[in-house]
Amino acid sequence: MKISFPTNDRKTIAKRTGRCKEFVIYDLVDSKIMNIVYHENTHEHHDHEHEHGGGHGDGNQHNHKKGEGEHSHAEMGELLKGVDVLVVGRVGKFMKKALEGFGIRYQLTKKIEILEVVNEFLEGID
C-alpha cells in the first residue's frame, strides 16, 4: 500500500495540500516501511505572493476565481501516481475534484505527525 502526505518539513502534515512544499510517499508492505520517497510540489505557492497579488513568478496570475481553480492541481496527478491514499487535514472542492479525476482516494485526519498516521496504517496491515 502506498500512502502519501502533503508536507513542508518532512515530519508533519501540511495544512494546505495544494501549497505544500513536498509530497511524501510511504510504501508499506507486510507491516513494514519498504520505501519513502519525497516529490517536490511543482505547483507550490507562497502565501506572501498571493497576499501581494503575485502569481507563479513566471508572469502568470493565479487566482481561484469561480471556474478557474481546477487547473492548479493537475500537476499533482503525476506526483501522486500509484498512490493508494492521500492523507490530509482538509481538502477543498478543487482538490477533491482533482483527486477524483486521478483516481486517488483521500482520507481526512486530525493528526499532525506523519509517522503517527503511518504507524496506524502499519498496525492495520496483516
Fold of 2-124: Nucleotidyltransferase; domain 5 (3.30.420)
Encode 40-63: b = buried (16+ Cβ within 10 Å), e = exposed: ebebebeeeeeeeeeeeeeeeebe
Overall pTM surpassing 0.85 (yes/no): no
**What are the residue boundaries of the structural domains of the chain, listed by start?**
2-124
Name all contacts of 60-64 with Cβ < 8 Å and 24+ positions apart.
64/94
pLDDT digits (tens, 9 = 90+) for 69-122: 444 566 788 889 899 999 999 988 888 888 899 899 999 999 999 999 999 999
Alpha-helix runs per DSSP H in the chain = 47-51, 76-79, 93-102, 114-124
The average confidence (pLDDT) of the chain is 80
